[in-house]
Structure 1
Amino acid sequence: MSTVDVRQLPDLSSDYPLSPAQIAQYRETGHILLRGVCTPEEARVYREVILDATMRNNRETRPLEERDTYGKAFLQVMNLWSGDEGVKKFTLARRFGHIAAQLMEVDRVRLYHDQALFKEPGGGHTPWHQDQFYWPLDTPSTVTMWMPLVDIDATMGSMSFADASNANGFIPTPNEISDESEQFFGDYVAEKGFKVSGGGAMAAGDATFHSGWCLHRAPGNTTQRVREVMTVIYYPDGTRIAEPKNEFQKADHQVWLNSIAAGQVADGPLNPVVYL
């Protein structure tokens, strides 16, 4: 548990209103980059909290050369908010939930889970994939916030997206994030002629938001600095649980959704309302 005084952490409850043009852009492409979602000072303070929690909870100790493609992509530590009051204040922030609500065009938003994604120096690429491949949620309207806690650019692994690739929902593939998904979806993006955008520089506190069905990837980290990123996943309140379609969704159903029966509302103890 962090020793930080939570009362001294910056308040993240203020609104971040989006324009109709920004909402339309997200609706059209399935993703959007928003500048200054956190101020530089807010990003600095919460970076210290999230970095501390991530390092305390990280269980990956193998050198990069001993890991598979997924393992080389990043250190991944999930659900930090449930064990750290400082991270909780970040993950459950009303400001972020409000942005998610605007993009999904709903009134109430729940948390699915958070995860730190730290791409180490020399860390590998993150293959093409769809996030919602892993989630047994019966809705097309999920959104992930991806926020760097340090300044980044393409040499550190900033994100690229296939514009409008979310339009048809799930793209049938048996492959999780892997070399196979990189090949399969790389060919798919080329075949469909999707424009690939993003991948540029982001300041600490900027954030991308993308649909759960939007194809995305990131290159490796060729620098000597860690790409420190925090992500938070949201879905509309009232969403029901789908019958799990693969082993990953079965695991998520147990871990994040409290094994609530398929067809019931996804409102377990780890899925609080973060905006209403």
Structure 2
Amino acid sequence: MIASNTSPLNEKLLVSLEKANSFRELGHTLIEGVLSPAEAKHYREVIKNAAYKYNTEQRKLEERDTYGKAFLQVMNLWENDEAVREFTLAKRFGHIAADLLGVDNVRIYHDQALFKEPGGGFTPWHQDQYYWPLDTYNTVTMWMPLVDITEDMGMLTFASGSHRGGFAENIPISDESETSLQKYIREKGYPITRASTMKAGDATWHYGWTLHTAPGNNSDITREVMTIIFYADGAHVTEPQNKHQENDRRRWLAGLEVGSLAASNLNPPVL
């Protein structure tokens, strides 16, 4: 089911040429006020309720590995929750994604709530597209805090320009990726960039190949973030390069065959 055309989230938000050019040059950008304060408050409750309803992580923080300590991760909420579906399939977000990528339309790969708890650990350096068996560089992740956040809550941090290098290392997000990709970033001389603060409803956008990380949450407030991954309509499924891409092909691309159009029922066009 596609979000209603009458939803206020289908109103287009203008992306300036300056923002689009900066995104393509650096591999990431911050767009403020993607949601109004009232919209952010409403969808925070919607997403928070769904995230905790479908969360399966029951271990205490100290019992988890590095990845598990980084955040509670609940994926593809739009599949099961009507109210989240209106958010994830919003044309407002799709228009921004398409404008930044310079394409006519985008499809959904999946959404995911990423809640970094108080005391939650750092998120190791990684590339999102490591996991995606897609034949396009035109991929983008929207990362939107649902509460006001500061650097000490786990602000998303980028290696600016790293998207231009494409696939960096065949390593999943882990302690190993942290060590290896830190070295890679130093060798390439990529500047490290992050915002100092973000309001609820602001959003960063980064290419699938942009290297990024986040520090731990040193506050007493959960860093509630919702993400949506978009890719250019017309992309095809590629031969998986690792077991994670094979898992993604089966799950988020609904088992589509290699070489086929990446257009399963789980990947609706947004515009």
Comparing 224-233 with 197-206, which one deviates more in the overlay? 197-206
Distance in 1 (alpha carbons) for counterparts of 2:257 and 2:59: 37
Distance in 2 (alpha carbons) for counterparts of 1:269 and 1:174: 29
Does 2:270 align with 1:274? yes
Distance in 2 (alpha carbons) for counterparts of 1:47 and 1:254: 30
Q: Tell me the matched-pair count.
A: 268
Q: Aligned with 1:150: secondary structure? A: coil
Q: Is the 8 A contact 1:125 1:157 kept in 2?
A: yes
What is aligned with 1:185?
181
What is aligned with 1:3?
none
Q: Aligned with 1:59: secondary structure? A: coil
1:143 alignment partner AA: V
Cα pair distance change 1:10/1:108, threshold 3 Å: closer
Distance in 2 (alpha carbons) for counterparts of 1:99 and 1:135: 21
Q: Kindly report which structure 2 residues correspond to 1:133-152, keeping only aligned pairs within 5 A, or say none.
A: 133-152=130-149
213, 227, 240: which one aligns with 1:244: 240
What is aligned with 2:225?
229
Q: Aligned with 2:162: secondary structure? A: coil
Deviation at 1:10, TM superposition (A): 6.4
Distance in 2 (alpha carbons) for counterparts of 1:265 and 1:175: 26
1:109 alignment partner AA: V
Q: Is the 8 A contact 1:10 1:42 kept in 2?
A: no
Does 2:14 align with 1:17? yes
Q: Kindly report which structure 2 residues correspond to 1:103-142, keeping only aligned pairs within 5 A, or say none.
A: 103-142=100-139
Q: Aligned with 1:124: secondary structure? A: coil
Distance in 2 (alpha carbons) for counterparts of 1:195 and 1:56: 39
What is aligned with 1:60?
57
Distance in 1 (alpha carbons) for counterparts of 2:140 and 2:163: 11
Alignment deviations for residues 209-233 of structure 1 (CA, whole Å, 9 cap, x no partner): 0000000000000111100000000
Distance in 2 (alpha carbons) for counterparts of 1:10 and 1:110: 18
TM-score, length of structure 1 as denominator length: 0.95
Deviation at 1:199, TM superposition (A): 3.9
What is aligned with 2:72?
75
What is aligned with 2:24?
27
Q: Aligned with 2:198: secondary structure? A: coil
Deviation at 1:107, TM superposition (A): 0.3
Which consecutive unaligned segments of at least 5 residues does structure 1 have? Answer: 1-5
Q: Is the 8 A contact 1:116 1:229 kept in 2?
A: yes
2:38 alignment partner AA: E
Distance in 1 (alpha carbons) for counterparts of 2:171 and 2:62: 22
Distance in 2 (alpha carbons) for counterparts of 1:255 and 1:236: 19
Alignment deviations for residues 54-111 of structure 1 (CA, whole Å, 9 cap, x no partner): 0000000101111000000000000000100000000000000000000110001100
Q: Kindly report which structure 2 residues correspond to 1:152-231, keeping only aligned pairs within 5 A, or say none.
A: 152-171=149-168, 173-231=169-227
2:99 alignment partner AA: Q
Q: Aligned with 2:8: secondary structure? A: coil
Q: Which runs of 4+ in 1 moved over 6 A?
A: none
Q: Aligned with 2:163: secondary structure? A: coil
Deviation at 1:241, TM superposition (A): 0.4
